Structure 1
Amino acid sequence: MTDTQALLDNRPPSMATLFLERVEATPDAEAYRYPVPPASGEGPADWQPLSWAESATRVFAIAAGLIDLGVQGEERVALACSTRVEWIFGDLAVLCAGAATTTVYPSTNDDETAFILSDSGSRVLIAEDAEQLRKARASRAELPALAHVVVIEEADAVSAVGDPEGWVLSLAELERRGAKYLEKHPDSVRDRVHALRSDQLATLIYTSGTTGRPKGVRLPHDAWSYMARAIEGIKLLEPDDVQYLWLPLAHVFGKVLVAGQLAVGHTTAVDGRIDKIIENLPVVRPTYMAAVPRIFEKVYNGVAAKAREGGAAKYKIFQWAADVAREYAKTSQDNFRRTGSATVPLGLRTKHGIADKLVYAKLREAFGGRLRACISGSAALAPDIGYFFAGAGINILEGYGLTESSAASFVNTQDYRTGTVGKALPGLEVRISDDGEILLRGPGIMQGYHGLPERTAEVLESDGWFHTGDIGELSPDGYLRITDRKKDLIKTSGGKYIAPAEVEGQFKAVCPFVSNILVHGADRNFCTALIALDEQAIMEWAKDQGLDGASYAKVTASKETYELIDSYVQQLNEGLQRWQTIKKFRLLPRDLDIAHGELTPSLKLKRPVVEREYGALIEEMYTGSRET
């Protein structure tokens, strides 16, 4: 029996048990860091450490407070909060109280928040601030099960006229209440943890539906316990690692990172403020972090834009260095795959060394200088961008999973292959169906959709095989390459199949100005694209074109900008099959975003929403056309 198999076979029944084991094993080790703004309100935050024992004190107090409020086993406690250390404490406390966490993105609108709280039957809501409290209060009449709202920001925990007595309380108040409860019942939390079964509901995560209501994905304790031990088993992380965690914890990707940390025991610096990432990285100096592809695309575009600002010579050096990075990464990976050695020819090594001093070293320093690896997930990363970072010494390890599979099903490790999502985690079975769909079976697969047995039966077979809806290919040695979403494959009127995500990814690698792109062509005789530009990058370029002072919408509507992007579209088309090429495109007057419902909170494109919103532009590109 392998060490990894032994870990899986002997995994604890719950994530709560895993937490207790971690606290007992390394009570004085640093568990978390969190930023505390300076009293003056100006300058960088002061990062405060918390040991595992200190974290356990807070978690136990919150858990005991929930028990004192009357929360019972498997009852739902919702969390509507941005990524911060209190989110993690709240989640762990819910699990230690024997209850189950319902996750709610803080950006979720009033109507959908009310639906999630109602559909889940949540008894308590842990709300971040006054805005999240307002949403709950606005829908209180529709939420008879919601007995309490616990507000993290103490100053916002204010009752209003019409609130039932005790309906609103602060997190600090709940912790004080829990501490008193523990004085009388010191074993209450541990008793709840010891009573947990592996098949009990631990987390209810509502997927961001592109149409209709979101579905609640039921994930039991065993899913997280399995994920934690599987991550530990592949030795991707070490106890002395420092993770920088900014991803939304309401998303399954963020949640699995918390589970993995419990098993490995490393430090996590927590701050979900996206606008602080660039500022935080040199301070935290992480050894690894997880992100979505859009972050790497923005970094790449930003570096390219800064080089362009430095003049033609500097930009030419950057382009040369980027080409060298890609060649170096491809060559080393190809050689490692063939021979087991990642050697590269002397000439390429020499060029790489020069490019490292000129470009790559500065890029690594911007990430804090210690970054050993980045994990990328939630959507596909354009291979050329992956090769660029790999060649620059920043290893981007792509992974793959869904909410329904507890996030991590496949992941690259140190012997990674750019353009793939790595190998299956130990304990997971995988097969490719006749039509190319990826099917999964294992402990991480959901129990089903909450209250939706018919929808569950559509994707989950009676023998445990889950239909992912993704198309992929497995290499002989087990590396998976995702082709596209099964439902997103385009079939042109000429009968040709096209994977839009593949074309979109290639364009992102070619064009340093793109933010989002949607390729359209289903049942059409040629492909078109809607393109949104990165505001910072295109506005910097616009200054040199006599458009200084113009709005973003005016810049994107200009002839100069259209011609610029057209040159990149033509460059893209040179590498595509004829039926894949983009014959026409339109530049959008603003970027796609979460607020307008065009992107999910994990920055995935909602195709039906975008195609519906910009349907007139799409039709305009096809009206009267006879192109083939």
Structure 2
Amino acid sequence: MSISNIAQSDSRPFIDYFYKWEREKADQVYLRQSVGTTYIDYTWQEVGRQARSMATYLRSLDLPPQSPIGLVSKNCPHWLIADIAILISGHISVPLYPTLTADQLHSVLEHSQCTVLFVGKLDNWSTMRAGVPTGMLCIAFPENQPDVMLRPWNDILAMYPPMVESPKPEPDDLFTIVYTSGTTGRPKGVMIDYRAAAAIAESTRNKTFQDLANARFFSYLPLCHVAERNIVEALGLITGGTIYFVESLATFSQNLAAARPTHFLAVPRIWTKFQQGVLANMPQSRLNRLLQIPIVSSLVKRKIRQRLGLNDTVMILTGAAPMPIPMLQWFRRLGICIQDSYGMTENLGAVSIMPADKIKDGTVGRVNDGMNVRIDPATGEILTQAPWNMRGYYRDPELTAKTLTSDNWLHTGDIGELDAEGYLRITGRLNDLYKSPKGEFIIPSKLESGFSENPFIDQICVMGTQLPQPIALLVLSEVGQKTSPTDVSKSLTDTLIASNSQLHAYERIKKIILVKDTWTVDNNLMTPTLKIKRKEVEKRYQAAIDAWYDQDEVVVWEA
């Protein structure tokens, strides 16, 4: 299907789907919040009642049409109810990461020109609240602790009746402003209109099982991220499915097993944790033996899938960061077919997806219908063109002009290759490239992939802009932490030798540094979507790099 046909075939806004299920599934459960061993359930009718009352209140504020309204919270039912209220009141939702510092929150709220902010489940509101601009109206979800700065959600609902009409936005109206996670610098406000959101829904309909009955979704990745918003919020609305919310990280596994989602998205970091959890209960050698016995193999695979909560899935996706091929193949042996996907906020995360029936490892799948991709012959950069490209960066015409060409080609900043069958391969990122002392380009992600099969490694970051040869900083996995340092060092040395044998001389890694601290969102070494902040990792360890490099040992343990 051509871009023009997709753009004209269906301009139905997502809110139309909500109106449909509000009428047809009024008493069926739409949102489920896990609380211990029970749930707090919200039917489509109840979600409509709360969203419509909140929309009445927002209308009463006499804000200019299409006013940006902020939303900062961890995932919970009221996140989606607030988002729906913003949309039906005729305004623009501006979802924000719940891990922002006070300074970051202030910067984004000022830049987005929000005058209202919904505040939900947060771990650090006591410090974050200092970032709220003076005079801003803040509305608290029911989950919040009492705070005189916040107007209670339930108090508003008690005072304002539900909106009766069901307004529909125009295709060119702004749907949302999504601020990027800041992997490569200051967060940017990506403007997405209703036409773009409708075009992507039409293009990916067959690939995402949108017509599946009784669809179930599991929400835990930040809903302000474009991938979670697509796979959970948008598909939940389109299918009329049920969305389950994780209670906390401590209950993640039991919540997922209970939800048994039909659609599931997880970034590579989550899949690594799943794999480590399986191997902690069953060593790889024993698992290999059991999988070779036909009847036993089926039982083992089914039990593992059930324990993970993935026995009913029809679509399992990964994205946001490179997924090691050996890990994809490892899960495939268990009957868990993970479909790699690729995209970015600026093209609604929908450039390509791996066909479940025609997998080509080493690629991020086949380019979606309606998406055009070309490779810049000079730099190798991937450029995309689709009706769901962003409109531009909010209040930043200069950066918009650098990123979007006049004929709507988007500069992704990623380097890649496109084969004859339309499969896309990502080989690096322009911002991550650096030159060796002799002038050869080095791609860190390429070198990191050589370590993907070693079970002792949890996280890896290759660096070396000022060094004769690259080095690899590693964080040990749980298995590695329980193994003797001698065995770990030998295993990593063997992996290094094998990996270097496949590389050019200038690419070969000289040292492995085992650092003590795990890289997390809290210490600012990972984004909220669990991607490593390469520049922050380099900055953290820069002072010790030269001393580590000069040590005689190949594997160096941080003191």
Q: Give the fraction of aligned pairs with identical amino acids, expressed as a percent.
A: 28
Match of 2:328, SS state, is: helix
Q: Determine the C-alpha separation between the residues in 2 that align with 1:100 and 1:617.
A: 46
Q: TM-score scaled to structure 2, two decimals?
A: 0.90
Q: Can you give the 5+ residue segments of structure 2 that lack an aligned partner in the other structure?
A: 555-559
1:463 CA drift (Å): 1.1
Match of 2:462, SS state, is: strand
1:169 to 136, 151, 161: 151
Q: Determine the C-alpha separation between the residues in 1 that align with 2:53 and 2:13.
A: 19
The 3 A distance-change label for structure 1 pair 26 and 473 is farther
Return the index of the structure with the highest Cα Rg.
1
Q: Determine the C-alpha separation between the residues in 2 that align with 1:487 and 1:355.
A: 48
1:97 CA drift (Å): 0.9
Q: How does 1:191-206 map to 2 (within 5 A)?
A: 193-194=167-168, 196-206=169-179
Q: Determine the C-alpha separation between the residues in 2 that align with 1:597 and 1:307.
A: 33
Q: Determine the C-alpha separation between the residues in 2 that align with 1:354 and 1:436.
A: 48
The 3 A distance-change label for structure 1 pair 411 and 5 is farther
Q: TM-score scaled to structure 1, two decimals?
A: 0.80
The 3 A distance-change label for structure 1 pair 563 and 70 is farther
Asked if 1:54 corresponds to 2:41, the answer is: no
The 3 A distance-change label for structure 1 pair 437 and 511 is same
- Contact persistence 2:100–2:128 (CA under 8 A): no
1:249 CA drift (Å): 0.3
What's 1:311 paired with?
none
The 3 A distance-change label for structure 1 pair 209 and 286 is closer
Asked if 1:70 corresponds to 2:11, the answer is: no
- Contact persistence 1:373–1:394 (CA under 8 A): no
Q: Determine the C-alpha separation between the residues in 1 that align with 2:518 and 2:387.
A: 39
AA of the residue aligned to 2:159: R
Asked if 1:108 corresponds to 2:52, the answer is: no
AA of the residue aligned to 1:502: K
The 3 A distance-change label for structure 1 pair 499 and 416 is farther
- Contact persistence 1:12–1:18 (CA under 8 A): no
What's 2:411 paired with?
467
2:147 to 154, 158, 169: 158
What's 1:318 paired with?
287
Q: Can you give the 5+ residue segments of structure 1 that lack an aligned partner in the other structure?
A: 38-43, 309-314, 325-350, 546-557
The 3 A distance-change label for structure 1 pair 16 and 5 is same
Q: How does 1:193-342 map to 2 (within 5 A)?
A: 193-194=167-168, 196-210=169-183, 212-237=185-210, 238-257=212-231, 258-271=233-246, 273-308=248-283, 315-319=284-288
Asked if 1:478 corresponds to 2:452, the answer is: no
Q: Determine the C-alpha separation between the residues in 2 that align with 1:488 and 1:154.
A: 41
1:360 to 295, 301, 306: 301
User: Considering only aligned residues, what root-mean-square deviation do their CA atoms show, in Å?
Assistant: 2.8
AA of the residue aligned to 2:172: D
Q: Deviations over 1:311-331 (max 9, x none)?
A: xxxx4233567xx7xxxxxxx
Asked if 1:573 corresponds to 2:500, the answer is: yes
The 3 A distance-change label for structure 1 pair 388 and 210 is closer
1:50 CA drift (Å): 3.5
Asked if 1:377 corresponds to 2:315, the answer is: no
Q: How does 1:565-604 map to 2 (within 5 A)?
A: 565-604=492-531
Q: Determine the C-alpha separation between the residues in 2 that align with 1:286 and 1:292.
A: 16
Match of 1:232, SS state, is: coil
AA of the residue aligned to 2:547: E
Hey, which of these two has a bigger chunk of helix by percent? 1
Q: How does 1:179-190 map to 2 (within 5 A)?
A: 179=161, 182=162, 186-187=164-165, 190=166
The 3 A distance-change label for structure 1 pair 588 and 130 is closer
Q: Determine the C-alpha separation between the residues in 1 that align with 2:270 and 2:122.
A: 29
What's 2:8 paired with?
9
Q: Determine the C-alpha separation between the residues in 2 that align with 1:395 and 1:62.
A: 41
Does 292-301 or 270-279 show the bigger shift?
270-279
What's 1:554 paired with?
none
What's 2:400 paired with?
456
Q: Deviations over 1:526-551 (max 9, x none)?
A: 221111122x3334x24xx4xxxxxx
Q: Determine the C-alpha separation between the residues in 1 that align with 2:298 and 2:206.
A: 36
1:451 CA drift (Å): 1.4
1:253 CA drift (Å): 1.1
Report the number of matched residues: 548
Does 463-472 or 20-29 show the bigger shift?
20-29
- Contact persistence 1:72–1:98 (CA under 8 A): no
Match of 2:389, SS state, is: coil
- Contact persistence 2:174–2:193 (CA under 8 A): yes
